[in-house]
Structure 1
C-alpha cells in the first residue's frame, strides 16, 4: 500500500512540475542554510570538548576593580603553581604560558611566528598527541621545540622532522638553534594552543627557554600570564577561587590583592564567553536568522500546499465514488507532502556540500563537514522532514477528505470556506521577516562602514605596519631608529614610526597615574602606548597643544610624555594648553613625567568602548618596540612595496618583510561584525528568494483558479492593466501590512544590537524606505510578469477552462 501511495504521490508531483519545483527549491534553500548555521554553531559549542579531562579543565580569569588596571584574559603568573603545591586536594595539574612572536629561520626561509613559553605539562595535561617524538621528553630540554604539522611542512616539506634544527631569535636580537623534539598531530580547535584570533601558537617551548627569550613567566607581581588548572575530580571551583584569594593576600602586593579578583571559567564554556561573550552573541544572532529563514521556507511551503489542495476537490470526489476510504485519502495526501519535503531535504544536503566552503569563508570559521557531523544527525534531519511534511499536509488532507462526494465533484466548499485570511497572514509573515532581515543587513552595513570611516581620529590611508626583530636594549632602539631614518629617506615613503602598538586596541598594559602634588589615591588609569616622535605624523593624529616629543631625541627628555584630551580632562586640566609642562606620576614609582603634548582623541580600540585616557611614552625610555608603521606616498603602491622590500632586505637581512595595511588590523578588530555583515547579506538574499518563490507560486495558483474570471472580465471590457491591478491589489496590501509590522520590530532589534557600541550610527528612515521599496518593487514586478501573460490570453480559451 505504501508503495502505491508513493507512486501516486510522485505522479502528482511530476504533473504539477512548476509548483513542485518552487516548493522544493524554497524549502531546500531554507533547510540548507539552517544546516550550515547549525553546523557552525555546533562546531563553536564543541571547542575544547575534545581536550583530555575537559570536564575538569579551567582557565583563570581576572576581574579588576577598574577594568583598565589589567587584562581579563591573563592572571598572576605564580597562581597555578601555588594552587597545585598548596592545595593538592583541589588542583592536580596546571599549565601557564607567555605568548609572543619572533623570527624563525631555516636556511633561506625566515618567517615571523607565534610561540608559547610554557610548562612541560602541556602535552600530557591536554592529551595532545605527537605524530613524531616522545610525549614524555619532548618538552624537557630548554633548547628543544615542539612544532605543529603545518610548521614541519612549511620549513621542511615533510612531517618527520624530529632532530632537525630551526634558528630562533630572542628579544635581544640574538639567535640560537633549537632542535625539533616533537611534531604535533592535527589539533582540534582549542583555547590552549589557539587562545584567540590574535594568539595562535605553532611553536611550544619549555618554561626554562624563557631565560633565553628574556621573558619572565613567574612571580606574584606578574599579571600578564595566561593560567590554566586541572581540578581534582569532584572539586568545587568555588573552593579554588577562595584559595586563589587567600594566596593573593598572602603573597602579592596590596595593590594587586585589593584590586584583583581571580575566578575560574570552565574550558568547555570558555569559547562562548570569552571577550565579552562575542562568540555566544554571534552564534545566537545567526541561529535566530537561520530560524527565521527556515520558518519562511516552511510557511512558503505550507501556503502553496494549501493553495494547491483546493484544486484537488474533484479528484477527492472521484476517489470516494470509486470506493476510496477517507483514511486512505489522508494517507495519500500526507505521502505526497512528505515525499516532496524528503526530496527538498536531499537537495538541501547537496547544497550544504557545495556551499560549505563559501559560508566557511564568510564566517571566518571552518564549518564541519557533513560527514564529520555526529551519526545521529542524518536520522534527526529526516525525522524533521517527516514532521514538516506531515504538518504541511495535514490541514488540506483533513479538510478535503471531510467533504461529501457530491460537494467534492462540484468543486464546492459548503461548510469550510478556503481560508484566504490564513493564507494572506502567512504571506504577510514572510514579508515581515524578509523586511526585518533586509533592514537589519542595511543598518549593520552602515555601522561597519563607520568602523572604517575617516572619523577614527587618525588617518589609516596608505599606512602599512610590519613587525620587527626584537632587541629591547638602548643599542637595539638606536639601531631601529637608524633603520627608520634610512627608510624614511626613500621617495616612496612619506613618514615612518617605531612603536610598540598600532591602533588595533592591543596595548602593552594599563597603569594608574596622578598629578604631581595631588593625592596619590586619586589616580586615573591610562592606556600606555610606547612610540617615537613620528607616530602622530604617520597616523595624522592632530595635536591640541605642545608637541609630540622633540624632533631630535635628547636623553634628558626621555621622561617626557604625550597624553590625549580625555586624559587631560580626567586629570583636571581646564584645557590642553594648561596641561603642557605639568608633571604626572605613577604610584610606587619615583619618576615624574612631564607632559609635552596633548593629542586630539582618537579610536585606539573598538567603538564598543568610549575613548580611554592615553599616555604616550618615548620608546627610548621604555626600550620596547614591535612595529614599524609606514605611510606610503600615493601612487603605484605595489611598486612602492617592492622597492621597500628590497631596501628592507638590505638593512635587515634575515628579518621577514611581512606587511599588512591598517585596514587589515581593523578587520581583525571588527572580525565578528564583518562576519555578521556577510551572514546578513546571505540571509537577505535567501529571504528575498524564498519570498519571491512564494509569490511566484501563489500568484500562479491564483491565476490558475481565476482563469475563467479573467476571461469573463475581458469579454466585459476589462483591459490588461485593470486585470493586472486586480492581482496587485491582492498582494501589495499584504506587503504594506507586513511593512507596518516589520519596521517597528526591526527598529527595536537593531537599537538593541547598536546598544553594545559606545559610538554608533543614528538609525534613519533610509534603511526602512529602501528595504520596503525594494521588496515591494520586486514583488510587483514579479506579479506583473505573471498576470500580464494571463490578461493577454484569448478569452475564449479562458472561458473553456474546466
Structure 2
C-alpha cells in the first residue's frame, strides 16, 4: 500500500512539473540557507571548545579607568606567573605571549609573517599536537621554532622539515637562523594561536627568543602581553579576579597602572563571542534571526502552494470516493505526497549546501563545516523537520478536502467548506513584512558601509599604497629608511612617501597620558600616540589647522616638537588651533622632566573605526622615537598597475631580500570593517532569497484564487468586463495584503536599524529612501507577477469555464 501511495504521489508531482519544481526549489533554498547559517553559527560557538581542559582555560582581559590607557586584550606581563606562584590552589598553569611580525627568509623566499613569542607551556597546556617533533622539548631552545604545517609547505614544499632552518629578522635588523624543532598539526580556530583577525600566528618561539627579537615578556610595567591561565578544577574565577587585584596592589610599582587597571578572567569557551565588543555574538544573532525568518517564509510559501494545488484535485477526490476509496486512504495519500515533497526539497537543500559551502565561507570569512562533519543528531533533526512540515502542508487537503461530499468534489465546489482565507493572507503578510524588513535593512547597512569608505574620513585614502619594512629600530636604521624614502619619492610615478609606525587602521603604537604645562598631572588626559616623519600629513592629505607638521629638515634641537590634532588641543583647554602653537605639553611616558612643544595642529581625522569618537592624538617625530613599520606611498593618478610595477622594481633594488607586500588603504579599511562587510554580503543574499520566496508565495496564492474564481471570471467576461478590469479585480484583492505588510515592516525596520546604528559614533541618518525604494520595488514586482498570472485566465474563452455544469 505504501508503495502505491508513493507511486501516485510521484505521478502527481510529475504531472505538474513546473509548479512542483517551484515549490520544491523554494523550500530547498530556505532549508539550505538556514543550514549554511546554522553551520556558521555552530562553528563560532565551538571555537576553543576543542582545547585541552577547555572548561578551565581563561584569558585575562583588562579594563582601564581610561579606555585609551591600554588595550583590552593585553595586560601586565608578570601577572600570570605571579598568579601561579602565589595562588597554586587556584591557578594550575599559565601562558603569556608577545605577538608581532617579522621577515622570514629561506633562499629566494622572503615574506613578512606573524610570529608568537611565549612560554614553553603552549603545546601541552592546550593539547596542540606536533606532526613532527617532541612536545616536551620543542620550545626550550632560544634559537628553535615551531611552525605550522601550512608554513612548512610554503617554504619547503613538504611536511617533515624538523632540523631545517629559517632565517628571522629582529627589530634591529639582525638576521639569525632558527632550527625548526616541530611542525604543528592543523589546529581548529582558537583564541591562542589565532587571537583575532590581525593576530594569526604561524611561527612559535620560546620566551628566551624574546632577547633576540628585542621584545619584552616580563616586567610589571610591561602591559603589552596577551595572558592566559589554566585554573585548578572547580576553582572560582571570581576568586582569581580578586587575587589579581591584590597582586597589583602589592607588587605593581607604577601608580598609573595600579590605579587604572582592573584585570578579569573570561572563559575561552565564550571569549570568541564577546571579543572585540561582541562582534561575533552580534553577527551570529543577526544571521540566526535572518535565517529563521527566511526558513519560515519558505515554509509558509510551501504550505500556501500545497493548499493551492490541492484545490485543483477535488474531482480526483470525488471519483476515488465513488470508486470506493476510503477517507483514511485519501488522508494518507495527501500526507505521504506532502512528506515526499519536503523530503525531495531537503535532499536538494543538502546538495545546495555542498555546492554553496565554499562561497558562504568566503562571504562570512569563516570555515563553514562540511556536511559530513555535522553531528549525527542533525539526521534526526532533518527527519523530524520533513515529517512536521510535510504534515503541516498536507493537513488541509488530507482532512478538509477528503471530507467533501462526492457530488461537490465532482463539481469542483468549495462552497461547502469554510476556507481559511484570512489565515493564508496572514501568512502572505508575514512573508511580505519579513522581506521588506530585510530589504530595508540591507539598504541601510549598505549606506552605512559606504560612509566608512566614501564619507569624510578627514584624509584622502585614494592612491595610497602602504608596505611593511624591515626593522632596524635604531637612529641609524631610521636614517637609512629616510634615505630610501627620498629615493622612492623621486620616482615619476610617486607623489609623496612617508615613514611611520602607524597607518589609519586603528592600531596605534600605544596610549599616553598628557597634560599642558602648569596643569595638575592628576588631570592628565589619555592620548593616542603616533610616530611619523614630516611627510605623513602630506601623504594622507591631512589638513593642518595651524603650524607645521614638523620641520622639513630634522635637527636634534627639534626632538621636543610634537604635532597634535584638534581634539587634543580642545581637550587640553585651547579654544582654537592657533592658541596651541608654541605651548608646552608633558608626556611622562617619554619624558617627565622636559615638556614637548606643539609645532602643529592637524584637523581631526578617523584614525580608527567609526564605532568610536575621534580621540586626542599626539604625533612624535620618528627621529626622536626610532620605531617604524610602514612606508606610506601616495601614487600620482594614472596607470596604477604600471606605477606598482615600477615601484616594485625600485623597491627590490633599494631593499634587497625584503618582500614588497603592498596594500591599498581600502584594504586596511576592509579589515577594519570586516564584520560589517560580511553582514552586508549575508544580508544581500538573504534579501534576494526573501524576495524570491515572497514572489513564490504570491504565485501560490494567486494560482489558488484564479482557480477558485474561474467561473466568476467567465461570467464577468460574458457581461462585458474587460481584461484590464479583471486584472484590477485581483490587484485590489492583494493591495490590502501589501499595504498592511508595509505598515508593519517600516516601524520594525526603523527600530532594528536604528539600534544597529547606535553602535557607531559616526553614522548615517535614516532617510525615507530605503523605505520608499523597498516598497516600490517589491510592490512593482508583485503587481507584475499578479498581472502575468491573471491575464491568462482573463483572456481565456468563457465558454470553457461555464460549461462544466
Q: Into which bin does the TM-score normalised by the smaller protein fall?
A: over 0.9
CA distance in 1, matches of 2:402, 2:163: 78
CA distance in 1, matches of 2:545, 2:392: 68
Q: Which residue of 2 aligns with 1:432?
A: 433
Q: Which residue of 2 aligns with 1:749?
A: 752
Kindly provide the CA deviation profile for residues 79-122 of structure 1, in whole angstroms up to 9, marking residues without a partner as x. Answer: 11111111111111111100100011011110000000101111
Instruction: Report matched runs for 1:443-462 at 5 Å.
Output: 443-462=444-463
Q: Which runs of 5+ in 2 are unaligned?
A: none
CA distance in 2, matches of 1:167, 1:414: 86
Matched, 1:550 2:544: no
Matched, 1:232 2:232: yes
CA distance in 2, matches of 1:301, 1:414: 24
Kindly state the Cα deviation for residue 404 of structure 1 after the two structures are TM-superposed. 4.2
Q: Which residue of 2 aligns with 1:15?
A: 15
Is the CA contact (8 Å cut-off) linking 1:345 and 1:382 kept in structure 2? Answer: no
Q: Which residue of 1 aligns with 2:62?
A: 62
Kindly state the Cα deviation for residue 336 of structure 1 after the two structures are TM-superposed. 1.4
Give the alignment's TM-score, normalised by structure 2.
0.98
CA distance in 1, matches of 2:731, 2:560: 75
Is the CA contact (8 Å cut-off) linking 1:310 and 1:418 kept in structure 2? Answer: no
Matched, 1:510 2:515: no
Q: Which residue of 2 aligns with 1:120?
A: 120
Q: Which residue of 2 aligns with 1:688?
A: 691
Is the CA contact (8 Å cut-off) linking 2:304 and 2:700 kept in structure 1? Answer: no
Instruction: Report matched runs for 1:663-674 at 5 Å.
Output: 663-674=666-677
Question: Which SS does the other structure have where 2:426 is aligned?
Answer: helix
CA distance in 1, matches of 2:281, 2:142: 39
CA distance in 2, matches of 1:801, 1:667: 65
Question: Which SS does the other structure have where 1:512 is aligned?
Answer: strand
Q: Which residue of 1 aligns with 2:360?
A: 359
Matched, 1:368 2:369: yes
Instruction: Report matched runs for 1:161-560 at 5 Å.
Output: 161-252=161-252, 253-413=254-414, 416-560=417-561
Kindly state the Cα deviation for residue 365 of structure 1 after the two structures are TM-superposed. 1.2
Instruction: Report matched runs for 1:697-712 at 5 Å.
Output: 697-712=700-715
CA distance in 2, matches of 1:157, 1:410: 76
- Which one of 776, 779, 782 corresponds to residue 776 of structure 1? 779
Question: Which SS does the other structure have where 1:211 is aligned?
Answer: helix
Q: Which residue of 2 aligns with 1:713?
A: 716
Deviates more, 1:232-241 or 1:584-593: 584-593
- Which one of 645, 660, 664 corresponds to residue 661 of structure 1? 664
Kindly state the Cα deviation for residue 287 of structure 1 after the two structures are TM-superposed. 0.5
Deviates more, 1:300-309 or 1:105-114: 300-309
Question: Which SS does the other structure have where 2:521 is aligned?
Answer: coil
Question: Which SS does the other structure have where 1:72 is aligned?
Answer: coil
Question: Which SS does the other structure have where 2:290 is aligned?
Answer: helix
Kindly state the Cα deviation for residue 454 of structure 1 after the two structures are TM-superposed. 4.1
Is the CA contact (8 Å cut-off) linking 2:562 and 2:621 kept in structure 1? Answer: yes
Is the CA contact (8 Å cut-off) linking 1:467 and 1:626 kept in structure 2? Answer: yes
Kindly provide the CA deviation profile for residues 523-556 of structure 1, in whole angstroms up to 9, marking residues without a partner as x. Answer: 1110001111100010011111111111111111
Kindly state the Cα deviation for residue 587 of structure 1 after the two structures are TM-superposed. 4.3
Over 3 Å counting, the alpha-carbon distance change for 1:214 and 1:29 in structure 2 is: same
Is the CA contact (8 Å cut-off) linking 2:706 and 2:790 kept in structure 1? Answer: yes
CA distance in 1, matches of 2:28, 2:594: 68
Q: Which residue of 1 aligns with 2:637?
A: 634
Deviates more, 1:16-25 or 1:284-293: 16-25
Kindly provide the CA deviation profile for residues 107-164 of structure 1, in whole angstroms up to 9, marking residues without a partner as x. Answer: 1110000000101111111111111111111111110111011111111111111111
Kindly state the Cα deviation for residue 731 of structure 1 after the two structures are TM-superposed. 2.0
Over 3 Å counting, the alpha-carbon distance change for 1:592 and 1:801 in structure 2 is: farther
Kindly state the Cα deviation for residue 2 of structure 1 after the two structures are TM-superposed. 2.7
CA distance in 1, matches of 2:746, 2:790: 29
Kindly state the Cα deviation for residue 505 of structure 1 after the two structures are TM-superposed. 0.5
CA distance in 2, matches of 1:635, 1:318: 78
Is the CA contact (8 Å cut-off) linking 2:506 and 2:607 kept in structure 1? Answer: yes
Kindly provide the CA deviation profile for residues 458-494 of structure 1, in whole angstroms up to 9, marking residues without a partner as x. Answer: 0000001100001111101111111111111111110
Over 3 Å counting, the alpha-carbon distance change for 1:801 and 1:258 in structure 2 is: farther
Question: Which SS does the other structure have where 2:59 is aligned?
Answer: strand
Number of positions where the alignment pairs a residue of Structure 1 with one of Structure 2: 802
Is the CA contact (8 Å cut-off) linking 1:707 and 1:801 kept in structure 2? Answer: no
Q: Which residue of 1 aligns with 2:74?
A: 74
CA distance in 2, matches of 1:528, 1:586: 10
Is the CA contact (8 Å cut-off) linking 2:308 and 2:703 kept in structure 1? Answer: no
Is the CA contact (8 Å cut-off) linking 2:99 and 2:114 kept in structure 1? Answer: yes
Question: Which SS does the other structure have where 1:521 is aligned?
Answer: helix
Q: Which residue of 1 aligns with 2:102?
A: 102
- Which one of 589, 594, 598 corresponds to residue 597 of structure 2? 594
Is the CA contact (8 Å cut-off) linking 1:217 and 1:225 kept in structure 2? Answer: yes
Question: Which SS does the other structure have where 1:621 is aligned?
Answer: coil
Q: Which runs of 5+ in 1 are unaligned?
A: none
Is the CA contact (8 Å cut-off) linking 2:312 and 2:707 kept in structure 1? Answer: no
Is the CA contact (8 Å cut-off) linking 2:311 and 2:704 kept in structure 1? Answer: no
Q: Which residue of 1 aligns with 2:4?
A: 4
CA distance in 2, matches of 1:77, 1:298: 55
Question: Which SS does the other structure have where 2:746 is aligned?
Answer: helix
